[in-house]
Amino acid sequence: MKTTLKGPIFIGRSWLEYLKMFNLDLKELNNWNILDCAAGASSFTAYMFKNHLKSIAVDLKYDKTPEFLEKMCKQHLQVLVDSLQPLQNHFEWYFFKDLEELKKHRMQSCQEFARDYQKGWGKRYLKADLIDLPFADNSFDLVLCAHLLFIYDHRLSADFHLKAVQEMIRVTKNQLRLYPLVKHKGEKSVMVDKVIQNLPLNYQAQLVPVDYQFRRGGNEMLVISKKTSK
Ligand SMILES: C[S@@+](CC[C@H](N)C(=O)[O-])C[C@H]1O[C@@H](n2cnc3c(N)ncnc32)[C@H](O)[C@@H]1O
């Protein structure tokens, strides 16, 4: 019998997926201090550290040991792959050629994450809840949040979405980028408009195309930033 998980599951996209999902240009990142929220087993922070760039990752699960998280990530990845098997025609196969390639790519991300988490646990990997981040106001140049808000809108309330966005914009000096905005059949989450409508008055939201798509229609991110005075 196949295992199913309620989620949010503990897996992670690769650093390359992050660069594409969030329109990040490595040359620009030199002077940026980035926060990756609900980072899971993504290899983004490991890659940044390896390249002497600044990124902190937070996740609810970062009180667990490296061994525990690596095992959990591998199990959840297998459950994900099994669950995608009958749904393959809901997805776009151009970043990944097929499910096998997806599994290999994400497994590599999980291993890169686990190696770096072992060294950086408590330093660049911190346990935190999105709605209560342990950082002062304006601590980061850029805050990223992928694959938690919007895609789990059947589990995470509107109140959670609004509080999480408010908390993430509190800790960023410049921008918050959120991806993706669509659920697995390509329909836009109802929370996207709710988040936009409830932004503080001095903030603006923009839908920006990105060079990545796996979920159908998942080729845009939401960029939230302070309005500039003229
Ligand atoms: C599907 S993973 C996404 C990982 C990564 N951002 C990516 O795009 O691949 C979702 C992550 O959200 C984390 N999470 C769930 N609720 C959270 C919360 N309230 N605060 C912080 N992290 C949370 C889970 O532990 C899990 O690692």
Q: Rounded to the nearest whole angstrom, what is the distance from the C-alpha of residue 228 to the centroid of ligand 1?
A: 31
Would you say residue 9 lies in a domain? no
Q: pLDDT tens across 56-97, in order?
A: 999 999 999 999 999 999 999 999 999 999 989 889 999 999
By C-alpha distance, which of 26, 32, 20 is closest to 220? 20
Q: Which residue has the tokens 């196949």?
A: 2
Would you say residue 110 lies in a domain? yes
In this structure, what token pair is assigned to residue 134? 């342990």
- Give the C-alpha separation, 61 to 65, whole Å: 9
Neighbours of 96 (CB within 10 A): 17
Q: For the whole model, what pTM was predicted? A: 0.96
Domain assignment of residue 84, given as a range: 15-226
Extended beta strands in the chain, E state: 33-37, 54-59, 125-127, 140-146, 172-179, 203-209, 220-226
Q: Rounded to the nearest whole angstrom, what is the distance from the C-alpha of residue 29 to the centroid of ligand 1?
A: 23
Atom of ligand 1 nearest to the CA of 21: 8
Would you say residue 78 lies in a domain? yes
Q: pLDDT tens across 47-60, in order?
A: 999 999 999 999 99
What is the DSSP pairing of strand 140-146 with strand 203-209? unpaired
Q: For residue 27, what pLDDT band results from cuts at 50, 70 and 90?
A: confident
Atom of ligand 1 nearest to the CA of 38: 22
Quote the number of domains for the chain.
Answer: 1
Would you say residue 201 lies in a domain? yes
In this structure, what token pair is assigned to residue 171? 């800790």
Greater pLDDT, 7 or 114: 114
Q: pLDDT tens across 144-167, in order?
A: 999 999 999 999 999 999 999 999
